[in-house]
Structure 1
Amino acid sequence: MSDKRKPEQSTSKYQPRATSSRTTYILAGAAVAVIVALVIGGIVWNSQRDTGGVDEAVLSENAALIIGAPSAPQTIDVFEDFMCPVCQEFEQQSGGSITKAIDEGTLRVRYHMLTFLDDQSSSGDYSSRAAGAAQCVGAGEDKEVFLKFHSALFADQPKEGGSTDLSNADLARIAGEQGASPATQKCVADGAKVAEAKDAADQSTTQLSKATDGQVATPTVLSGGAPVDGIMNGTGWLDDLLAEKG
């Protein structure tokens, strides 16, 4: 259970229409309302404006899992949605380097799983159920199992706008294949942490909105409460962050 924080969860109710599977999903808004505004150049813009400083305590409390030594010189917040195809690309490009830096003690990661692409799944709630499954694994297993489960869900990602997605039983099976215990698998199969994950994602989304002047996108990485540029251009972004603290 190394580096696991029990109060750390994530997921949300924001459901903008999605665009092409190779774009970054962006949401913006006013107060609590979620409004699909318009599609410009393949990017979906909504509105959820919430400016002001990022609250580090809220980011910590609402992460699905915090992984890495507390003494690590660099901490980042990673915001993803399990239905987001660009998040899958991000995991393929940077997941291995992130894990390596965690293992070397140079990086601490707070994972935030959002759910605004629920309506792009066949079941209508896949993002939320997958985020709840991640909460179960994060609460019940060590970092290695969580990271393997996280990667496995992106590897087995349902097609955006497709006719099928993964059931809770499928998610539980995948968790078991990554080493999750029977108790954790039952938590996933029962959807026991879906509501908790949604509540946490709401909080994480609010903090991300504050960091980005109201534009919430997945994938996004924050460092020191500010967005990191170039995260879809290989792993140079991570090399630069680690060099700053080296």
Structure 2
Amino acid sequence: MSKKNSPAPTENPDYEPRATSSRSTYLLIGIGVVVAALIVGGVVWNANKSFPPVDDEVLAENASFIVGERTAPTTVDVFEDFSCPSCKQFESKSGPALAWAAKTGKLRVRYHLLTFMDDKSPSGSYSSRAAGAVLCVARTGDAAVFHGLHAELFAQAPGPDSDADPTDTEMAEIAGRSGAKDETRECIAAGAGVDRATAMADQSRTQLANSNKGRVATPTVLVGGRQIEGIVDDDAWVHKLITGGASN
């Protein structure tokens, strides 16, 4: 039956509102108190929870890509997610400075590409697939290809109003334009690095959480397990690390 011919809603003449009984009221109040207690208890528990120190060996083993010499005076751990808008801004402002610092021996940079924002991308998997693409490049250790792919994957990262993100084939083509060889492009197009990249991201995420009492956010930069402040506005923090050491 169409909406036009449907009868108008009618009231139920037999319906008589009844006041909530005292017993029901007390039960609802009791449930509310328990829920509130659980929430407060969870917050207090998390605040008092003991987190182990950041494990540098775990960070070294689970970095998606490392640039710079082992003899560099300072090692920097950079945590990003390809579906993170702030990371896109971070890359555009600090990416070139980090690349220069690594190339000139000023810094050793370990990139940790996290995947916890997958669901923010139109495909539901952009973070993981892009991290897997970088891991394919890591097999060759070609820093020039890494920097080109890394920058372009952020440049093409989906925004809040996007309805699509780069496919595996498109990411392979991007890598090719950055100088990747056939084997690397095939690895990316097949999504061969995704599972390993996801497992590494989980390990890196745990270390990031340990550095900040369980809280995880990207972009984040750690030096010696401690977070560096003021990294999003510009690249001044990179030059400060080179000239004056880490500061929080």
Measured against the shorter chain, the TM-score band is 0.7 to 0.9
Q: Could you tell me which residue of structure 2 aligns to residue 68 of structure 1? A: 68
Q: Could you tell me which residue of structure 2 aligns to residue 183 of structure 1? A: 183
SS across alignment from 1:240? helix
- AA of the residue aligned to 1:201: A
- The normalised TM-score by structure 2 is 0.77
- Deviation at 1:69? 0.7
Higher helix share: 2
Q: Could you tell me which residue of structure 2 aligns to residue 10 of structure 1? A: none
- Deviation at 1:149? 0.8
Q: Report if aligned partners of 1:50, 1:209 keep a CA contact under 8 Å in 2.
A: no
Cα distance 1:155–1:50, how it changes in 2: closer, same or farther (>3 A)? Answer: farther
Task: Give the Cα–Cα distance (whole angstroms) in 2 for the partners of residues 163 and 144 of structure 1.
Answer: 30
Task: Give the Cα–Cα distance (whole angstroms) in 2 for the partners of residues 217 and 161 of structure 1.
Answer: 22
Task: Give the Cα–Cα distance (whole angstroms) in 2 for the partners of residues 192 and 74 of structure 1.
Answer: 32
SS across alignment from 1:162? coil
Task: Give the Cα–Cα distance (whole angstroms) in 2 for the partners of residues 123 and 240 of structure 1.
Answer: 38
Moved over 4 A (4+): none
- AA of the residue aligned to 1:166: P
Question: Does 1 or 2 have the higher relative contact order (CA < 8 Å, sep 6+)?
Answer: 1
- AA of the residue aligned to 2:181: S
Q: Could you tell me which residue of structure 2 aligns to residue 98 of structure 1? A: 98
Task: Give the Cα–Cα distance (whole angstroms) in 2 for the partners of residues 122 and 183 of structure 1.
Answer: 28
Q: Matches of residues 76-155 of structure 1 in structure 2 within 5 Å?
A: 76-155=76-155
Unpaired runs of 5+ residues, structure 2, are 1-38, 40-45
- AA of the residue aligned to 1:56: D
- AA of the residue aligned to 2:240: D
SS across alignment from 1:213? coil
- Deviation at 1:232? 1.1
Task: Give the Cα–Cα distance (whole angstroms) in 2 for the partners of residues 165 and 86 of structure 1.
Answer: 17
SS across alignment from 2:149? helix
Q: Matches of residues 28-39 of structure 1 in structure 2 within 5 Å?
A: none
Root-mean-square deviation over aligned CA pairs: 1.8
Cα distance 1:50–1:192, how it changes in 2: closer, same or farther (>3 A)? Answer: farther
Q: Report if aligned partners of 2:156, 2:165 keep a CA contact under 8 Å in 1.
A: no
- Deviation at 1:164? 0.9
1:29-49 Cα deviation digits (max 9, x unpaired): xxxxxxxx9xxxxxxxxx8x7
Q: Could you tell me which residue of structure 2 aligns to residue 209 of structure 1? A: 209
Q: Matches of residues 13-28 of structure 1 in structure 2 within 5 Å?
A: none
Task: Give the Cα–Cα distance (whole angstroms) in 2 for the partners of residues 115 and 126 of structure 1.
Answer: 8
Q: Could you tell me which residue of structure 2 aligns to residue 56 of structure 1? A: 56
Q: Report if aligned partners of 1:50, 1:214 keep a CA contact under 8 Å in 2.
A: no
Unpaired runs of 5+ residues, structure 1, are 1-36, 38-46
Task: Give the Cα–Cα distance (whole angstroms) in 1 for the partners of residues 132 and 215 of structure 2.
Answer: 24
Task: Give the Cα–Cα distance (whole angstroms) in 2 for the partners of residues 152 and 222 of structure 1.
Answer: 24
- Deviation at 1:162? 2.6
SS across alignment from 1:76? strand
SS across alignment from 1:197? helix
Task: Give the Cα–Cα distance (whole angstroms) in 2 for the partners of residues 84 and 50 of structure 1.
Answer: 28
- Deviation at 1:242? 1.0
Task: Give the Cα–Cα distance (whole angstroms) in 2 for the partners of residues 110 and 123 of structure 1.
Answer: 27
Q: Report if aligned partners of 1:120, 1:161 keep a CA contact under 8 Å in 2.
A: no
Q: Report if aligned partners of 2:112, 2:204 keep a CA contact under 8 Å in 1.
A: yes
Q: Report if aligned partners of 1:122, 1:161 keep a CA contact under 8 Å in 2.
A: no
Task: Give the Cα–Cα distance (whole angstroms) in 1 for the partners of residues 202 and 50 of structure 2.
Answer: 12
- The normalised TM-score by structure 1 is 0.78
Q: Identity rate of aligned residues, in percent?
A: 47
Structure 1 stretch displaced more, 76-85 or 159-168:
159-168
Higher strand share: 1
Q: Matches of residues 150-229 of structure 1 in structure 2 within 5 Å?
A: 150-160=150-160, 162-229=162-229
